[in-house]
Amino acid sequence: MTRSITVLGATGSVGLATLDLVGAAPEGTYAVTALTAHSRAAELAALALRFRPQFTALADSGQAAVLEAALAGSGLNWGAGADAVAEAASMDADWTMAAIVGAAGLAPTLAAVNRGKIVALANKEALVCAGGLFMECARRSGAVILPVDSEHNAIFQALGGVDASRLRRIILTASGGPFRTASLEAMGRASVHDAVAHPVWSMGAKISVDSATMMNKGLEVIEACHLFAVPPSKVDVIVHPESIVHGLVEHVDGGLLAQMGSPDMRTPIAHALGWPDRIDTNVSRLDLPALGQLTFETPDPQRFPALRLAREAFEAGGASPIILNAANEVAVEAFLNGHVGFLDIAAIVADSLDQGEGAFKGPVKDFEAVYAADAIARTLAAERVIVRNRHGASMARGA
Ligand code: NAD
Ligand code: MG
């Protein structure tokens, strides 16, 4: 039977890897319902012409003319603006890849969850911001959430249906990123180029910087707590530079089950795309003798404070994870734009948490409250960016 699929964030690293698998499948395996992207209109149009979705949505209406021109005469339906992305996510697909980056993915991903079908979840920020509410929506609608993040996909597979509350612990592996062995001084001088040059994985810019600060692993600890309903005390992080073992579960009898594979997102995506079956991919196969050995080490809390910040924010609860995520998004963007240094990212997140936590009291009861906290945290973080703006600081020194 043909599986109808929607890809939210089709032009991104995960979106393109998903469509690579869809394109390689035998004719009639998949039919594309909707494709969405933020502003890369020409790239989205090229994907639409190839996969012929029922609907194509571009979030940035400023680029609508580019999409319109590229799709003229194709007979394809398209729309622009946030409403068009929401419409795309609400269409009746059997399977949705949620691969928008950041909290911007929360509303469209929820629209897919509320349809009660299969949601392959890459957009970890949606869970960090609103995990409790999000998982409750999935329970109510009957949606199946399949983790795509490689560590969580590994744990999902290693669990094999066992209730995670029966585990001794979950172990997330981390590559350690490009600064695994760098000194703090070198990290302070790191350029954007250094930070996005991931040693193993090829990913979008934001998650590449998150890997370099290890905030990615902090976000993933929170993601694991929501997905598997375990407390953070049961989620450990170990650095594994080869990125071959993606995640492990430790059972009460002392047995550990791990999932391994080449560091290629097409494997976890294929697991979700074929689920509950397995599908072929042309991902390079592991040559174990060539690998020789696998290494594991403890993350350094001094050079990677983001890990601790994420755990503390999750344990504080309320709006803290929302502030953590929003401040991180603002700080990473500022770093990518050359406005702050690499070590400023975690510092901006820490300052925003200190300032923001006083501004919010009590539990975050609904999605309105999530969006409100997200907006306030972005303002707070933007102020911290201005304070730390390198150019501003050097101009002040020069004056
Ligand atoms: P990316 O930057 O390569 O792509 C992001 C996609 O989201 C693009 O299609 C972009 O057009 C779209 N988008 C961005 N802002 C938007 C907005 N405001 N509205 C609508 N669409 C918007 O990112 P990526 O690396 O593919 O990551 C996507 C998500 O998957 C992230 O949450 C990331 O943490 C997660 N993830 C990625 C990888 C990876 O290997 N890249 C691995 C695990 C998890
Ligand atoms: Mg991951």
Domains of the chain: 3-148 (3.40.50.720)
Atom of ligand 1 nearest to the CA of 122: 30
Which residue's CA is the closest to the ligand 1 atom numbered 23?
A: 204
Say whether pLDDT at 79 is over 50: yes
To 10 degrees, what angle do helices 215-228 and 124-141 make?
Answer: 10
Per residue in 306-361, pLDDT (tens digit) is 999 999 999 999 999 999 999 999 999 999 999 999 999 999 999 999 998 777 77
Q: In what order do the strands lie in the sheet with 235-239?
A: 235-239, 167-174, 245-251, 256-260
- Calculate what percentage of the chain has a pLDDT beyond 90: 92
For residue 129, give every residue at least 6 positions away whose Cβ sits within 8 Å of its Cβ, in sequence order, or none.
103, 106, 321, 322, 325, 326, 370, 374
User: What is the rounded distance in angstroms from the CA atom of residue 261 to the CA atom of residue 269?
Assistant: 13
| Closest listed ligand to the CA of 98 | 1
Among the listed residues 313, 315, 308, the one whose alpha carbon sits nearest the alpha carbon of residue 327: 313
Which residue's CA is the closest to the ligand 1 atom numbered 21?
A: 38
Say whether pLDDT at 390 is over 80: no
Q: Of the residues 13, 35, 208, 210, which should be mutated to test ligand 1's pocket, given the most ligand atoms within 8 Å of the CB?
A: 13
Tokens of 108: 């469209």
